[in-house]
Amino acid sequence: MTRNAASSLAAAAILAVLVAACGGSETKTVVRTAPASVAPKRAPVTVTGAPALDQVLGAAIAVDDIELAGLTGYQKVSCKKGSSDGPGEPPSCRPNESDDTSVEVLPSSACSDGWVRPEQVPDAFRFTLRAAPELLAVAKPHIDPAVFGGGFGAEEVAIFRTGTHAEGQPAGVALHIKDGRVVWIEADCHDLSELVAPEKVDSFVFDPKGIATASSPAPPAPESTATPTE
């Protein structure tokens, strides 16, 4: 197998994981809080002034997939034998796992919801963030029990632009963060604007380009009260 062919197969495998659907299994929002195994080898990023949050942001901007894997908060979810990982299905059990075995997974969404096993997490970060993600905003999420996992308890959401869709719309990914750990990777389906929809955001912690108000109409200019001169 050529190197290009192997790379294509690897990319296809990660894409399949990211778009695998889920939602019918019982999810326990248990975050493993082991410290990151790899210390950053770069200057720290100061965005919010919160060290734990800024460490995640710095690792994401640098696309440091190994550090991000160490900064991941996994969920405990029961697997199911014979699951196709399709819509509404739990993670499929591996040959050495029996039905309803509690397994560690990172929630991931790209048009549909799915799960990523720990050994696939570095590739998932690298695949979704791509080569040079641009940090656009950090938001406080709107808590909605109806969303995937209820948001997995995330306290902040970092929104990145990652390029452009084939149709020309901007593409992006949101990293949902709790206690300095990424608990959910959410890629947009068709447009970056999906990640900053008003129903998803309570407030913005960091919004230098004003994306929070970019879709709102500008207020009308005040009428001039000056007296015209001859």
Q: What are phi and psi of 195, to 5 degrees?
A: -80, -15
Considering the four listed CATH numbers 3.30.1380, 3.40.109, 3.30.70, 3.10.450, the one that applies to the domain covering 18-34+49-206 is 3.10.450
CA distances, 40 to each of 9, 32, 66, 68, 184 (Å): 30, 20, 10, 10, 21
Minimum mean pLDDT range among 10-19, 151-160, 175-184: 10-19
For 66-93, the DSSP string reads HHHHHTB-PEEEE-BTT----TT-PPBP
Q: Which pLDDT tens digit goes with each residue over 98-154?
A: 999 999 999 999 998 999 999 999 999 999 999 999 999 999 999 999 999 999 999
**pTM higher than 0.85 for the full model?**
no
Question: Bigger pLDDT: 223 or 122?
Answer: 122
Q: Which pLDDT tens digit goes with each residue over 117-130?
A: 999 999 999 999 99
Beta strands 102-110 and 181-187, pairing class: parallel
- pLDDT > 90 fraction of the chain, expressed in percent and rounded: 62
8 A C-beta contact, residue 177 and residue 183: yes
The maximal CA–CA distance of the chain, rounded, in angstroms, is 90
